[in-house]
Structure 1
Amino acid sequence: MDSGEKNKYGLLGRDISYSFSENYFKEKFIRERRSDCSYQNFDLKNISELSDIMTQKDLKGLNVTIPYKEEVLGFLDDVDPIAKEIGAVNTIKFTAQGTVGYNTDLIGFKNSFSPLLDKNHKKALILGTGGASKAIAYALKELQIKATYVSRNPTKDQLSYAALDQAVMEEHQIIINCSPVGTFPNTHEKPNLPYEHIHAQYIVYDLVYNPETSALLAMAKSKGAQIKNGYDMLVGQAEGSWQIWNEA
């Protein structure tokens, strides 16, 4: 129903002209006849620019993407306990009491990933250590799957790509790419994995959604693995955000 009042929503990130969210919400508002709502990208070179955006009139909610999911916490009045535990926020709600941060990546990932699981899927490798990876690790813990981070610059309890030998790969039959490697326009790129060890028992999940089949997923598919891109997760987190923004 059109209230006649503009409710502004948007996406915070850097270099986000390619973003899923703006098109998704604009189409949603047309489909649901919500002419009272608008959605725009806020492409920030630096998180310090956020203060000016937060004071905009009629702003009701924001999504947050790379690279600000962790940095944004310091700008919020309150953070939902789960988002606080994850250590990353992808949804901001504007209330009379101030701004509140949430994480809907968790539910978006969990709902799209869980149907793929089988009894052999006990351990996972998470490629990348940014804000999105934290929600993935939290979801895996809830699903009782032990996760290990893989990084180009590993810290304690993380693995380097060079450490991914046959034994490590065989032990971890879930691979989740949380890095931007392979995203348009660099579609030929893929994580530096020993692909010869991937087989039909694997799940390979790539948060990249553009292209639909990344170089990582194409290679994994050729080895017989179950593959899934990040599109359903994105839809899930977007709808999760919309629900939060519209709760009383």
Structure 2
Amino acid sequence: MAHSPGPRMFLIGSEASAAMSPALWSPVLERLGSTWTYEPWDVPAGSVMDEVHARLLEADVIAANVTMPHKTWAAAAADAVTETVRLSGASNFLVRDGGRLEAHNTDITAVGQLLGGGHRRHVVMLGAGGAARAALIALRGRTGRVTVADRDPQAAGRLLRVAENLGMDARASAWADAQAEARQASLIVNATPIGKSGQDGPVWGETRLADDAFVYDFVYAPHTTASIARARQQGLQCADGWDHLREQAAAMIPILGLAPEAGPLLESRLAQLHARS
């Protein structure tokens, strides 16, 4: 990767150049009068990460967002980690501090912000990757029963162990059984790509949900996902991938020491991107 002058932020991931973050952050940094740049850096799955680690420690680097499939690597590569990173084993935000990297997880912050306080009597977690793990960490100490399901039983097993280590009353379930359980759950989390296509139905199927259910859908797409549309039709509380992006970006502001006006600027810019998508 060629170096250019000036302080830099990166987005590191296997498909970073196709992600929205540069289009979100670059205009905001410019409006703030910052000389920082925000650049995508495609790092394919299976890459040797020594070069990435070394580059992030160079003097012109401020920080890097990290997306799939490198969140676990980011947590392990850091010299210092937050408590939530330690619990989750994943980081989506690395900040350079001299010759050290500090690992944060603003996904967890975003989930906590959007769900608010209160106890969730039964959580159905559909999907078992990094997003699901972030949701579990955000929910620690505030859940009753947790049902974990994924098309990949090994992934579900790994997430189940995370839940058990957090002291949750959790069990893994077959996909169809978990969809059926969602009917009575108080929180349904879609941590899968289901909904990316406008042809996808609700992640839990076609059944009606409990009246106190909250639907948290990590998917952001040009259309309203069927899961969110169905939740709204039923008058339920919900949060979609656009809400998550907003709160995840807002959580970066104090870590980076940006001016408070960065928050409204990010929200306005995200609304523009959503309208154009």
Show the counterpart of 2:247: 236
Give the corresponding residue for 1:65: 67
Give the letter aligned to residue 179 of structure 1: T
Cα deviations across residues 22-44 of structure 1 (Å, max 9, x unaligned)? Answer: 1221121122111x100011111
Residues 212-221 or 104-113, more deviating:
212-221
TM-score by length of 2: 0.75
Change in 2 beyond 3 A, CA 1:61/1:232: same
1:180 to 183, 193, 201: 193
Return the TM-score normalized by structure 1: 0.83
Contact 1:141–1:147 at 8 Å: present in 2 too?
Answer: no
The 1:165–1:66 alpha-carbon spacing in structure 2 relative to 1, beyond 3 Å, is closer
Residue 161 (1) aligns with residue 161 (2)? no
> Cα distance, 1:128 vs. partner?
1.1
Residue 165 of structure 1: how far off its partner (Å): 6.3
Deviations 1:131-165 (A, max 9, x none): 12111101112434543222113336211222136
Task: State the distance in 2 between where 1:15 and 1:75 align.
Answer: 20
Structure 1 pair 47–79 and aligned structure 2 pair: CA distance change class (3 A): farther
Residue 88 to residue 97, structure 1, CA distance change in 2 (3 Å): same
Preserved contact between residue 70 and residue 88 of structure 1 (Cα < 8 Å): yes
Unaligned runs of 5+ in 2: 161-170, 259-277
Partner of 1:151: 150
User: What percentage of residue pairs aligned between the two structures are identical?
Assistant: 24
The within-5 A match list for 1:125-140 is 125-140=124-139
Measure, in 2, the Cα distance between the counterparts of 1:132 and 1:85: 14
SS at match of 1:72: helix
Check 1:178–1:165 CA distance in 2 against 1; reply closer, same or farther (3 A cut).
Answer: closer
What one-letter code is carried by the residue in structure 2 that aligns with 1:207?
F
State the match for 1:84 in structure 2.
Answer: 86
| Equivalent residues of 2:123, 2:146 under 8 A apart | yes
More moved, 130-139 vs 44-53: 44-53
Q: Count residues in correspondence.
A: 236
1:246 aligns with 2:246: no
Contact 1:69 1:132 in 2 (8 A): no
Please tell me whether residue 226 in structure 1 is matched to residue 237 in structure 2: yes
Counterpart amino acid of 2:26?
K
Distance 1:194 1:181 in 2: 11
RMSD across aligned positions (CA)? 2.5
For structure 1, the 5+ residue unaligned runs are none
User: RCO (CA 8 Å, sep 6+): is it higher in 1 or 2?
Assistant: 1
Deviation at 1:202, TM superposition (A): 2.1
Alpha-carbon offset, residue 233 of structure 1: 2.2
Q: Which residue of 2 aligns with 1:94?
A: 96
Find the counterpart in structure 2 of residue 106 from structure 1.
108
Q: Is 2:231–2:238's contact at 8 Å kept on the other side of the alignment?
A: yes
